[in-house]
Structure 1
Amino acid sequence: MNKQYKHIKESQVKIMELMKPSNSNFSGKIHGGYILNLMDQIAFACASKHSGNYCVTASVNKVDFLNPIEVGELVTMKASINFTGRTSMVVGLRVDSENIRTGETKHCNSSYFTMVAKDDDGKSTPVPGIILTTKDEVRRFARSITRQSEGRNRTSRFNSKVFKVDEYIHLLEESNAKIELK
């Protein structure tokens, strides 16, 4: 089988949506859950476009809401494949908002969605690789490899079967917690 590769730009997706009052939370800002829903949709579109298959969200790596989004602002979301594994892809997302009256823009958040391609039987299926053409694309690919490795190490260190309280108890000394181990 010939290994397929695609340029990143072939699957990039951009959506823009005006934020309506029906999408706001109790404080009058756009609800974070609504933004996460849109992010999941654009990650799906980008991954499906790249793989040519239906894709599912396997994980979301860290979503920091940097700036609130106001009702009436225009939100722009951009998605791009940052990494390809055998059956998975890391989709990098950027969310910006624009006050359409003043033209002021702000970066609201960035995140990384790991998406897995599925075949017609619902089984994971291989995806094309990506062709890296810029230093930033190489940096994003390398960062994804590092992030995956760090995630595996973190998960194994805190596995309940191997976790050693004595090694971490000092971390709680200045925290807002009271320890009453039995």
Structure 2
Amino acid sequence: MEGKRVQDSEVVLAQIMQPESANILGNVHGGWIMKLMDEAGAIVASRHARRPTVTVVVDSIQFCAPVHVGDLVHVRARMTQAWRTSMEVEIRVEAEDLLTGERRLTATAYFVYVALDRDGRPAPVPPLILETEEERRKAEEADQRRAERLARREARGTQ
């Protein structure tokens, strides 16, 4: 299977935040931001695998700042690593004040997706071609997170 570059599947989604997505203080609900993050991540994973994908892990989500009604939200998602049937996607959310142009980081996370075949079973994915030092570093960090996730899963299974 031929490898694919990080840039071949990355995506940026942008959306104006509306009042129906917010609480009474005008802050957008974290669940709404998570939905946008999952949509962006699934697009990246499906573009990389060229197969349907399902979310299997949401890892290390951090909400850094609130998103307000009227902000333009940018959700940037890109591959960090591809294994046999699973892929990790890094997702960063920024909110932009359209009147000032100020952007602030509002959330980050790593989502893991599994590619599916026609029968709904895990399917092989292409390897990730790492072209820059940053991409190689992020891939190593993804491998470490994966090892930690697998160790936690194994520990739960033995209890």
Deviation (angstroms), 1:27: 2.8
Q: Distance in 2 between matches of 1:126 and 1:156?
A: 23
Q: Distance in 2 between matches of 1:17 and 1:103?
A: 15
**Runs of 5+ unmatched residues, structure 2:** none
Q: Which has the higher strand share?
A: 2
Look up the match of 1:50.
Answer: 48
Amino acid of the structure 1 residue aligned with 2:100: T
Q: Distance in 2 between matches of 1:22 and 1:11?
A: 31
Within 5 Å, which residues of 2 pair with 1:1-182? Answer: 3-157=1-155, 161=159
TM-score (structure 2 length as normaliser):
0.95
**Which string of whole-angstrom CA distances, capped at 9 and with x for unpartnered residues, describes residues 52-82 of structure 1?**
0000001100211100001101000111110
| Percent identity of equivalent pairs | 35
Q: Distance in 1 between matches of 2:119 and 2:154?
A: 31
**Alpha carbon RMSD of aligned pairs, Å?**
1.3
The number of aligned residues is: 159
Q: Distance in 1 between matches of 2:158 and 2:85?
A: 29
SS of residue in 2 equivalent to 1:145: helix
Deviation (angstroms), 1:155: 4.2
**Runs of 5+ unmatched residues, structure 1:** 162-182
Deviation (angstroms), 1:160: 7.0
Q: Distance in 2 between matches of 1:122 and 1:9?
A: 27
Q: Distance in 1 between matches of 2:4 and 2:154?
A: 34
TM-score (structure 1 length as normaliser):
0.83
Amino acid of the structure 1 residue aligned with 2:110: Y
SS of residue in 2 equivalent to 1:28: coil
Q: Distance in 1 between matches of 2:55 and 2:128?
A: 19
Deviation (angstroms), 1:97: 0.6
Deviation (angstroms), 1:116: 0.4
Q: Distance in 2 between matches of 1:127 and 1:160?
A: 30
Amino acid of the structure 1 residue aligned with 2:22: S
**Which string of whole-angstrom CA distances, capped at 9 and with x for unpartnered residues, describes residues 122-175 of structure 1?**
1110000111000110011000111111223344456672xxxxxxxxxxxxxx
Choose between structure 1 and 2 for higher RCO, CA contacts under 8 A separated by at least 6 residues: 2
Deviation (angstroms), 1:112: 0.5
